[in-house]
Structure 1
Amino acid sequence: MNGAGLAGDTRLPEKGLGLALEILEQVARDDRGASAAEIARAVGAPRATVYRVVNSLVRDEYLVRRGDFSGFLLGTRVLELAAIVGARTRPEHAAVVARLRDDTGEAVHLFAFHRSGLMVLDEDESQPLSDRDALLADPTRSAIGHLWLVAHPDRRMPQAPNWRVAPPADDVRAIHEAYAVRGYTEQAALLTSDRGCLAVPIHDDAARPIGAVTLSTSISRLSVAARHVGALRDAARALAPLGSLSGW
Structure 2
Amino acid sequence: MRERTAPALSARQPGAVHSALSVLEAVAHLGAGVTAQRLSAELGLPRATTYRLLNLLVEDEFLVRTPDLAGFALGAKVAQLAAVAAPPVRLSSAARAVVDNARHRVRGGVHVVLFVDGRIVVIDADPDFPLSDHARLTREPGRFALGRLMLVDDPSAQGAAAEAARADLARWGATRQSGELAAVSGCLAVPLRDDAGRLAGALGFSGPRHRVDEPDTVLAALRPAADALAPLVV
Structure 1 length as normaliser, TM-score? 0.53
Q: Of 123, 130, 144, which aligns to 1:128?
A: 130
Secondary structure of the residue that 2:196 maps to in structure 1?
Answer: coil
The superposition leaves residues 42-99 of structure 1 with CA deviations (integer Å, 9 ceiling, x where unpaired) of: xxxxxxxxxxxxxxxxxxxxxxxxxxxxxxxxxxxxxxxxxxxxxxx76342111111
Q: Of 168, 173, 177, which aligns to 2:167?
A: 177
Conservation of the 8 A alpha-carbon contact between 2:92 and 2:232: no
What residue in structure 2 maps to residue 146 of structure 1? 148
Conservation of the 8 A alpha-carbon contact between 1:189 and 1:196: yes
User: How many positions carry a matched residue from both structures?
Assistant: 144
**In 2, Cα distance between equivalents of 1:145 and 1:183:** 15
Q: Which runs of 5+ in 2 are unaligned?
A: 1-89
Q: Of 209, 213, 222, which aligns to 1:219?
A: 209
Matched, 1:192 2:194: no
**In 2, Cα distance between equivalents of 1:90 and 1:110:** 9
Q: Which amino acid in the other structure matches residue 201 of structure 2?
A: G
Q: Which amino acid in the other structure matches residue 202 of structure 2?
A: A
What residue in structure 2 maps to residue 207 of structure 1? 197
**In 2, Cα distance between equivalents of 1:199 and 1:91:** 21
Q: Which amino acid in the other structure matches residue 170 of structure 2?
A: A
- Once the 2 structures are TM-superposed, how far is the Cα of residue 180 of structure 1 from its aligned partner? 2.0
Structure 2 length as normaliser, TM-score? 0.56
CA RMSD of aligned residues (A): 2.0
Matched, 1:91 2:98: no
Q: Of 113, 116, 124, which aligns to 2:115?
A: 113
Conservation of the 8 A alpha-carbon contact between 1:134 and 1:191: no
- Once the 2 structures are TM-superposed, how far is the Cα of residue 154 of structure 1 from its aligned partner? 4.1
Conservation of the 8 A alpha-carbon contact between 1:135 and 1:191: no
**In 1, Cα distance between equivalents of 2:149 and 2:213:** 19
Conservation of the 8 A alpha-carbon contact between 1:131 and 1:191: no
Cα distance change of structure 1 residues 91 and 190 upon mapping to structure 2, 3 Å threshold: farther
Secondary structure of the residue that 1:126 maps to in structure 2?
Answer: coil
Conservation of the 8 A alpha-carbon contact between 1:130 and 1:191: no
Conservation of the 8 A alpha-carbon contact between 1:146 and 1:175: yes
Matched residues, percent identical? Answer: 37
Q: Which runs of 5+ in 1 are unaligned?
A: 1-88, 156-167
